[in-house]
Amino acid sequence: MIEEKNICQAYIKHRKKKTLENINLSVKKKAITALIGSNGAGKSTLLGVMSNMIPPLSGEVLIDGVNIRTLKPCELAKKIAILKQTHHISIRITVKDLVEFGRFPHSRGRLSDFDRKKVKESIAYMNLTEMEDRYLDELSGGQRQRAFIAMVLAQDTPYIFLDEPLNNLDVKYSVEMMRIIKKLVSELGKTVVVVLHDINFASAYADYIVAMKNGRIIGEGRPEQVITKEVLDEVFDHDFNIVSYQVRNACLYFDRVS
């Protein structure tokens, strides 16, 4: 069973425009929660607030009952790992170097045997063992993305936040990435919050979907509750066509042939 815990409650107020407005959200444990919404809806901001990267102007974010503002950054890094959409790295490092960085919150840079074991496991889990000594800039986009997920895995946090992990990935790698994320939940018991652009990927892989528009939550719930014409039309200002495929809903957003 999924335990419900109110870990998120954020409220950001700007003088002119609110990026987030009265957001009340509790993230279900050991499940994938997908954030969907049009560009500028505040998905990434919400993820940033939830991970204490961006301080909320008012309101608070609770993790396991504790306000995250009161946690030290290094303590928080043992609970939440976040991968932002742009993780361009200017230094030249190998996959293994990168994954070893994931142990930093635990080891402060001095790797113990346990840390090395964790690094090895994470690399193996992401099928990167053969290329652990390759440099990141020699890898394909999908492999590099996997290397970053391996770093997040090595960080060994119960909560993993991913900001558009499917960016720049083609269909094959996107599916592979979503399967991996699914496995993180089912095999390792992680709680994953993921920002997705592709509604159908959210529908097919997420356990819960949160649909946002203009800094507000328009709809939330199980995929079949959110991937409906009423909700999506409002969220995206678009005339959707919902079809049912197996047990999932999928949406078509093209113009009809007249």
Residues of this chain that bind other proteins (CB under 8 A): 51, 53, 72-78, 80-84, 86-94, 97, 101-102, 104-105, 108-110, 133, 155
Nearer to other proteins, 83 or 128 (CB): 83
Q: How far is the CB of 257 from other proteins (least distance, A)?
A: 44
Q: How far is the CB of 99 from other proteins (least distance, A)?
A: 12
Nearer to other proteins, 151 or 209 (CB): 151
Nearer to other proteins, 87 or 117 (CB): 87
Nearer to other proteins, 23 or 80 (CB): 80
Q: How far is CA 244 from CA 60, 160, 179, 252, 254, in A?
A: 38, 30, 21, 11, 16
Q: How far is the CB of 111 from other proteins (least distance, A)?
A: 11
C-beta of residue 21 within 8 angstroms of C-beta of residue 11: yes
Q: Which residues contact 44 (CB under 8 A, 6 or more apart)?
A: 84, 85, 163, 164, 195
DSSP state, 113? H
CA 88 to mean position of chain CA atoms: 17
Query: Tokens 């997705």 label which residue?
Result: 196
